[in-house]
A and B are shown apart, each in its own frame.
Chain A
Amino acid sequence: MNRNNLIIGAIAVTIAVLAIVVAMFVIPDEPTRPVVYMIYDSDKGDLSYVDSAYRGLFAAQEDMRFTKREYITYSPVNFSRLLTGTTVEKPGFVITLGYDKAGFTQALAQEHPGIRFLAIDQTGIGSDNVRAYEITSYGESYLAGVLAASATKTGRVGIILGTQSTLLEAFRSGYIDGVHAVSPTIPVDQAYVRENSKIGFNDPNRAAEIAGGMYDNGVDVVYAVAGYSNIGAVREAKKAPGRYIIGVDSDQTYLGPGVILASAVKRLDRIVYTNIAEYLNSSFTGGDEVVGLKEGVTGLTFNPKFEQYNSTVRAWDIKAQEEEAKYLRSRALSVQK
């Protein structure tokens, strides 16, 4: 072999080695993952509703491979711009939370038929690319009412709601029906933290005032359906013995282990997790879903300290499911009228 061939061979080997090194160790572009957007009602840290949804998102990301983006109350116009913008990333699945997002979700879904939407607590907007969940809290609230009626010593109970809305009407109706199923004569004091504002879910001081007034009026069990405002009601309950609270959305025992009898929980995390899984395995379908007690999406979680009421309340499970179904039917009929 002559010298020139040797030199050419050395150059060729060098180039080949370099090419292999570059191919092996320069980091390749990562394969694109499906993109899921979550639009929250408010900041995380509410200790109930939003945290429950985030729990589902977190669990899904631990088990499945996708990219998530989180937003808080994005304005419809800005969000639409985000979806139609020139950024490379586009979501394939968008999750919206909260009953007041129905119009927002519906408009976006119509504008973006290629994107799948999961609309939680948004009634009647199901379509080809929207699965709209109504999580009815009638059944769990019915059980909360049974619990309140079983636990009351004064014979008077109460309910504090964040604000007025169709969604919260299920809580109110279910609770009152549950109380009166046990004892038709028990009075139920009712109040809203704010009549027509979502601030009612974030005003603990006002909730405390209302709860204090109810307790002074002879109420000893209050069903607090007011998100973060519940902290105020719990604070008031702690001020004197014999005052109790039934919490909402997630297990709120830790807020007041001496006063929280139980919590009417909404398993948003399950809905989020399950639907992300279905989207990723291409089994997601649109439409309206009404879920509640029967599907295991809602229920009552007891404070271990008051476990003695569990069997009493459990005995009403079937009845609560039946009443929930009846409530949903009657509501559908009234809509038709």
Chain B
Amino acid sequence: MNFIERKNIGLISLAIIIIAAAFWAGCIVIPANTPVRIGVLLPVTGDIDLKEPLEWAKDNINREGGIGRRPVELVYKDTRNGNVTLLAQELLDDPTIYIVIGPPTSDQVYSLAPEFIARNKILISPVTTSGDIIRAFGKKEYFWRTCQGDVAQVKMILSILKGKGAKKVALLTENTTWGNTFYDWTGFFSTEYGLELTSIRQFDQGSSSLESDVADALKTNPDYIIAICGPPDAATIKRAIDKSGTPAKLFLADASVSPVLIQSLGAAAEGLEGTSPTADPTTGFTVAYQETFGHPPTDYAAPAYDALLLAAYTTARQDASLFESPADSIRKVIYGNGPLKGWDAQESHETLALIRAGETPSISGASGPLDYDTEFGVDPLVTYYSHWIVEEGDFRTVEIIGSAKSDVNSAAGESAARTKASVGFMSFVPSGSDTYVPAVTKNDFQAVIVGPSGGWENYRHQADALSVYTLLRENGVSDDNIILMVYDDVPTAPENSLKGDIHNIPNGKNIRLGADMDYAGSQVTAATLKNVLTGTKTASTPVVIESNASTDVFVYIASHGTQGGIVFRSDELFTTDDFTNVTDSMNKNRQYRQLIFVVDICFGESIAMNATAPGLLYLTGAAYNEPSLGAVYDMEIKQWLSDEFTSQVMSLLRSNRDITFRQLYPAAYEKVTGSHVRMITTGNVSIDQPVMEFLKS
């Protein structure tokens, strides 16, 4: 008997069709009754009211039919009342939520974003403004923000001060992640704007020595002191300036905007100026908000509103493209180039309908155009700032300026935090007719590589030193010709989940393995370096350069820097005078044929500014008045693995083995973000030799 008869085939087929149809019907019915749940990881109590604009955005979306008739539901986790990490984990673990708006601070972005990225959940922050965030999380697709980093605010402040006729400015900034953006970029943009940055100092919040810091800054006769701090410290600084009797004025940023400042200073607050983010006035958001709530929006109300719009649009895109990842969906939403749509209830409803129909309209928001960095994502390209003044006991807007209108613009499609130095500020490079060949033939090569800063947080310095060491070794330089001085506590640090490992690209090879340390830990001091370079053997410095007039000497240093000093772990400095004296000594004792330094520290140019020893070339990543930036963020270990200058130089050397020093300088200058690469030479150096040829025994 034939087991499968025709009628059984028909019955089975019918059953399959009925089951499939029921499933399809269920796919329509069930979601249609399910709200779209979007997480909110922000303070919703206290003096920062982000709930009001979020609720307004939600109500506007829902009254026009929601997202495909599904209402938006906001799932609040109030960061004022709970452990932010635990609250974030609740949202991560909730299978009904795949977009979260938040967190409130930049530090929390660093700690939380990697987990969201790993779990393919989108995090959209409307209030975090650390400049480094775009470089850390750019291209990762799952982290976005609706307000640009404070690099844009630095540009705005300097643009305003320049417009007011200022020539000299000083910077006092609190030593926090927020303050660091201003510390990192004010020197850079001062150069770009043609202003002199006379003083740059960081202070701890509530520091008792703040008045002394103000006094030191005032000694440099700035026209303005830019203070980046909260209201209590701003008040202290203002009082100190008033007490000094100097004509210097104070200029503040958004964190100082608070009734506390005015209450604290009283009449002395009159005339204080500063900047704060605000909505693009041409969107009408401010007018509409005032009409709806009877008061103007707070600084971050518009970005908060836009964060929910992005979340809603991404959800709509997911509805339209069932097999598209959330990362691809949000990219499609953000980089849409169809009809331009606005932010209000009607426009957002039409945008949702278009997106659900598979189209890609060009979105804009309450805060502004919502055009994003084309390569890195993360940041919108334009932010608007209110230039405010304290009048009659209140903050009044003098003017509203878009960040794109500052004098110094980033390249098209590039956020302010990726600004490169203008070509017009390059160091002088001797012309091609000045080709020099040393009279003495090279017989030897000696290298000194120094990574003197210790601690897990200085991972990148030790990694950079080891990467340069690796480059030399791969180029055939023997360990006998390299003196390696690295603090070397990172491989064994308690925070290091990969014991014994240092890498300088994410998931890269362990460059600590096999490295032959000559000096490590507490042996790595400025005194050690002096002895090493001058060839001074002692009991504590048994390994030193052994060189003569036919030896090419290369020195690489990656560390923290101050104006006039390379910082060693013990907080001692290798100063500008030390550099001059050591190199003069090396010249006098005929210890080198050519002496080339590559130094990656903040304010790097300041170290060699007084160099006189002939045959010296000094290449550094930052001018005398500016810090330099970290590079290559590793989300797994939450550390920067390199420094921007070293990272770019290494990339250039590896991609072009014939590149000369003359070519390397402008190439590095054009690639490095956020600082002005400098080259100093005392002459009698062959800058037309290939770098990799120089770095050879």
Partner of A45, one of B17, B22, B342, B400: B400
Q: How large is the interface on A (under 10, 10 to 19, 20 to 34, 35 or more residues)?
A: 35 or more
Q: A250's closest neighbor in chain B, by CB?
A: B287
Q: How far is the CA of A15 from the CA of B266 in the complex (A)?
A: 76
A82 within 8 A of B: no
Which chain B positions have C-beta within 8 A of A54?
284, 287
Q: Enumerate A304-334 residues with CB–CB distance to B below 8 Å.
A: 305
Q: Is the CB–CB distance between A254 and B25 below 8 Å?
A: no
What mask results when residues 280 to 302 of chain B are scored 1 for a CB within 8 Å of chain A, else 0?
A: 11111011100110000000000
Which chain B positions have C-beta within 8 A of A107?
none
Which chain A positions have C-beta within 8 A of B590?
none
Stretch at the interface among B242-250, B390-398, B576-584: B390-398
A61 within 8 A of B: yes
- Write the nearest CB–CB distance from A7 to chain B, whole angstroms: 7
Q: Is the CB–CB distance between B291 and A59 below 8 Å?
A: yes
Which chain B positions have C-beta within 8 A of A238?
391
What mask results when residues 10 to 45 of chain A are scored 1 for a CB within 8 Å of chain B, else 0?
A: 110010011001100111001000000000000111
Which chain A positions have C-beta within 8 A of B500?
none
Q: Is the CB–CB distance between A258 and B25 below 8 Å?
A: no
B399 within 8 A of A: yes
Q: Enumerate A237-260 residues with CB–CB distance to B below 8 Å.
A: 238, 254-258
Which chain B positions have C-beta within 8 A of A68?
346
Q: Is the CB–CB distance between A21 and B287 below 8 Å?
A: no
Partner of B392, one of A70, A231, A257: A257
Q: How far is the CA of A17 from the CA of B396 in the complex (A)?
A: 63
Q: A7-B14, A44-B281, A257-B392 are in contact. Are A17 and B287 (CB under 8 A)?
A: no
Q: Is the CB–CB distance between B25 and A18 below 8 Å?
A: yes
- Write the nearest CB–CB distance from B78 to chain A, whole angstroms: 29
B18 within 8 A of A: yes
Q: A28's closest neighbor in chain B, by CB?
A: B69
Q: Is the CB–CB distance between A10 and B288 below 8 Å?
A: no
- Write the nearest CB–CB distance from A191 to chain B, whole angstroms: 22
Q: Is the CB–CB distance between B25 and A58 below 8 Å?
A: no
Which chain A positions have C-beta within 8 A of B344?
58, 61
Partner of A44, one of B18, B25, B284, B396: B284
A134 within 8 A of B: no
Q: Is the CB–CB distance between A51 and B28 below 8 Å?
A: no
Q: Enumerate B313-361 residues with CB–CB distance to A below 8 Å.
A: 342, 344-346
Which chain B positions have C-beta within 8 A of A26?
28
Q: Number of residues in B with C-beta < 8 Å to the partner?
A: 36
Q: A66's closest neighbor in chain B, by CB?
A: B346
Q: Is the CB–CB distance between A14 and B21 below 8 Å?
A: yes
A67 within 8 A of B: yes
Q: Is the CB–CB distance between A7 and B281 below 8 Å?
A: no
Partner of B18, one of A10, A21, A51, A235: A10
Which chain B positions have C-beta within 8 A of A257?
391-392, 394, 396
Q: Is the CB–CB distance between A44 and B391 below 8 Å?
A: no
A55 within 8 A of B: yes
Residue in B11, B286, B345, B396 whose Cβ sees the most chain A Cβ within 10 Å: B396
What mask results when residues 10 to 44 of chain B are scored 1 for a CB within 8 Å of chain A, else 0?
A: 01001001100110110011001000000000000
Q: How far is the CA of A54 from the CA of B285 in the complex (A)?
A: 10
B68 within 8 A of A: yes
Q: Is the CB–CB distance between B11 and A7 below 8 Å?
A: yes
Which chain A positions have C-beta within 8 A of B65?
27, 30
Q: How far is the CA of A7 from the CA of B18 in the complex (A)?
A: 11
Which chain B positions have C-beta within 8 A of A25?
28-29, 32, 69
- Write the nearest CB–CB distance from B295 to chain A, whole angstroms: 12
Which chain B positions have C-beta within 8 A of A14?
17-18, 21-22
Partner of A11, one of B14, B29, B283, B397: B14
Q: B270's closest neighbor in chain A, by CB?
A: A258
Which chain B positions have C-beta within 8 A of A30?
65
Partner of A27, one of B68, B282, B394: B68
Partner of A258, one of B281, B287, B392: B392
What mask results when residues 62 to 79 of chain B are scored 1 for a CB within 8 Å of chain A, else 0?
A: 000100110000000000
Q: Is the CB–CB distance between B346 and A67 below 8 Å?
A: yes
Residue in A25, A27, A235 whose Cβ sees the most chain B Cβ within 10 Å: A25
Q: Enumerate A96-126 residues with CB–CB distance to B below 8 Å.
A: none
Partner of A58, one of B14, B280, B287: B287
Q: Which residues of A contact B (CB under 8 A)?
A: 7, 10-11, 14, 17-18, 21-22, 25-27, 30, 43-45, 47, 51, 54-55, 58-59, 61-62, 67-68, 70, 231, 235, 238, 254-258, 305
Across the A-B interface, the 5 shortest Cβ-Cβ residue pairs:
A45-B281, A43-B282, A21-B25, A257-B392, A44-B284
19 additional A-B residue pairs with CB within 8 Å, beyond A7-B14, A45-B286, A55-B291: A7-B11, A10-B18, A11-B14, A17-B21, A18-B24, A22-B28, A25-B29, A27-B69, A30-B65, A44-B281, A45-B284, A55-B287, A58-B287, A62-B292, A67-B346, A235-B398, A254-B397, A256-B396, A257-B392
6 A-B residue pairings within 8 Å (CB atoms): A21-B25, A47-B281, A51-B284, A61-B344, A68-B346, A256-B396
